[in-house]
Amino acid sequence: MSIDAYRGPAFTSEPLHKKGLLDDPFEQFRLWFAEAEEKCSNYANPMTLATCGKDGQPVARTVLLKGFDTRGFNFYTNYESRKGQQLAENPKASICFYWEELERQVIVIGQVEKMSAEESDDYFLTRPRGSQIGAHVSQQSQPIDNREVLEREAEELESSYFDKPVPRPSNWGGYRLVPQSIEFWQGQPDRLHDRLIYRKEKQVWSVTRHAP
């Protein structure tokens, strides 16, 4: 089937009403995320992260949500990667979750801050050992000659840490996106989708409906 012939899914979900939302957007997200974990065939935590440096060129990529609470949404990466460099220049970002089986999307826009060294250390200890080694080996976003370079360096590092824990690299750690707005999108027939957006003003969240 050509792209021109594909008209997308025929949405069948119940409408999303303002009165049906929880007052706290984080609790509303927790509810939707739990449903996605239960009902979606794929993982619920992949999210598109869009950043933009001082050159004004947006870049989007998929990363994994690694926790959230009332402070914001957490992810981890190399601080010297392209996203890390862009966030250093412009600490604003947006993330987007799309759960196809639920016909739902969540878009979060806000400021980004580095998580504490203690938080990054704690998370790094939970990672598989291979991922810990990989965080040291990969000079993320930098050109390399071939894959064998990575594999050789990983073997050498594994050998050097054979009988001891792998420490967190100083250039690797967590970021927290602190939301200024959180949009809950529910697909509807005839592209008359529901878009309800929480915005924070003076420490109070309000909700408005937007046209699809």
Question: Which has the higher per-residue pLDDT, 146 or 32?
Answer: 32
Q: Is the pLDDT of residue 140 over 80?
A: no
* Percent residues over pLDDT 90 in the chain: 78
In a domain, 114, yes or no: yes
CA dihedral 142, 58, 102, 26 (to 10 degrees): 90
Helix (H/G/I), strand (E/B), else coil: 168: coil
Q: What is the pLDDT of residue 159?
A: 87
Element (H, E) at 35: helix 25-39
Beta bridge partners of 72: 69
CATH code for the domain in which residue 200 is found:
2.30.110.10
In a domain, 8, yes or no: no
- Range 1-5 average pLDDT: 59
Q: With CA atoms as reference, report the closest residue to 182 among 203, 201, 196.
A: 196
Task: Work out how many domains the chain is built from and give that number.
Answer: 1
Q: Is the pLDDT of residue 176 over 60?
A: yes
In this prediction, residue 197 has a pLDDT band, given cuts at 50, 70 and 90, of very high
In a domain, 7, yes or no: no
Q: What is the pLDDT of residue 1?
A: 54
Q: What is the pLDDT of residue 7?
A: 62
- Range 132-153 average pLDDT: 84
d(CA 181, CA 169): 32
d(CA 133, CA 156): 10
Backbone torsions φ then ψ of 68, nearest 5 degrees: -155, 150
CA distances from 109 to 10, 92, 173 (A): 28, 8, 21
Kindly report which listed range (14-23, 31-40, 115-124, 149-158) carries the lowest average pLDDT score: 149-158
In a domain, 12, yes or no: no
One-letter identity of residue 111: Q
Buried-exposed string 106-123: b where 16+ CB fall within 10 A, e elsewhere: bbbbbebebbeeebbeeb
Q: What is the pLDDT of residue 2?
A: 65
In a domain, 9, yes or no: no
Q: What is the pLDDT of residue 203?
A: 86
Q: What is the pLDDT of residue 145?
A: 78
Instruction: Determine contact, residues 178/92, Cβ cutoff 8 Å.
Output: no
In a domain, 174, yes or no: yes
Structural domain boundaries enclosing 144: 18-210
- Range 42-49 average pLDDT: 97
CA distances from 179 to 32, 50, 114, 205 (A): 17, 14, 14, 11
| pLDDT tens-digit map of 30-45 | 999 999 999 999 999 9
Q: What is the pLDDT of residue 212?
A: 94
How high does pLDDT run on average in the chain?
A: 93
In this prediction, residue 142 has a pLDDT band, given cuts at 50, 70 and 90, of confident
Q: Is the pLDDT of residue 4 over 70?
A: no
Q: Taking the chain, what is the end-to-end CA distance rounded to the nearest angstrom? A: 27
Classify residue 153 by its DSSP letter. H
In a domain, 3, yes or no: no
In a domain, 10, yes or no: no
In this prediction, residue 63 has a pLDDT band, given cuts at 50, 70 and 90, of very high
Active site residues: 191
Q: Is the pLDDT of residue 92 over 60?
A: yes
Structure tokens given for 98: 């799309």
